[in-house]
Amino acid sequence: MIGFQIKKRHRAVEASIVDRYKQLPVANISDVMSRMFAGGPDLRPMHNGTGLAGSAVTVRCRPGDNLLVHKALEVAQAGDVIIVDAGGDLSNAIIGEIMVAYAKRRGLAGIVINGAIRDSAVIRQGDFPVFAAGVTHRGPYKDGPGEINVEISIGGMVIEPGDLIVGDADGLLCVPFDLVDEVYRETVNKHEVEERMLADIAAGTYDSSWVDTRLASLGCDL
């Protein structure tokens, strides 16, 4: 039934690739993706700041209802990220301490909720990655409907099952499954350029002449 179904995921990013992405800043990944993709400014880390990386198990649920999220905890494999489109509604929490503890026990890489969580003080002290849009003490309902492993969209960013989800203190990003190798290579190059810039700044040899060059090209009177 459309709107109330559980599908199987047919692909996932290899663990070795996920591990390599963990070493890269999300901002650099975003830069090489033309700064055109993001999970929206509302999705923020609710935990102690540990980085997030893993293959997506997608969930679309009715705002305020977490029945299909409970099922996703059973469907997901170790290293997966459960990413939930709960409509961005903050009236009822979708997950709390118990579900986070269970996800961690099952070896999942993290949970993303386009909606609210609760038990935020406990989650904030922990190292299990949880990203969400807000906090409320009001609990969820468990009536459905909802869908697992379907295409979802959060803040205009489309996520398909098996895509790579990455996150850090700057926010959340989805790297499409077919582009993970290309994006990784370009991100490494970008990161190395920035590391050299930081080294030049520390050494007092940083060249900022590009600023005037750019201003002149735009017609600015200098």
Q: Confirm whether residue 118 is marked as ligand binding.
A: yes
Q: Confirm whether residue 99 is marked as ligand binding.
A: yes
On whether the CB atoms of residues 46 and 123 are closer than 8 A, the answer is yes
Q: Where would I find the H helices in the chain?
A: 15-21, 26-32, 67-75, 97-105, 120-125, 180-203, 210-217
On whether the CB atoms of residues 61 and 67 are closer than 8 A, the answer is yes
Instruction: Give, rounded to a whole angstrom, the gap between the first and last alpha carbons of the chain.
Output: 64
Q: Confirm whether residue 80 is marked as ligand binding.
A: no
Q: How far apart are CA 118 and CA 1, in angstroms?
A: 31
Q: Confirm whether residue 151 is marked as ligand binding.
A: no
Q: How far apart are CA 99 and CA 73, in angstroms?
A: 8
Distances (CA, A) of 71 to 61, 144, 148, 209, 215: 11, 11, 8, 56, 55
Q: Confirm whether residue 96 is marked as ligand binding.
A: yes
Which residues have CB under 8 Å from 144's CB, separation 6+? 4, 61, 62, 65, 67, 68
Q: For 75-137, give the secondary structure using H, E and C.
A: HCCCCEEEEEECCCCCCCEEECHHHHHHHHHCCCCEEEEEEEECCHHHHHHCCCCEEEEEECC
Q: Which residues are annotated as a binding site for Mg(2+)?
A: 119
Please report, in range form, the residues annotated as the binding site.
Answer: 96-99, 118-119
Binding residues for substrate: 96-99, 118
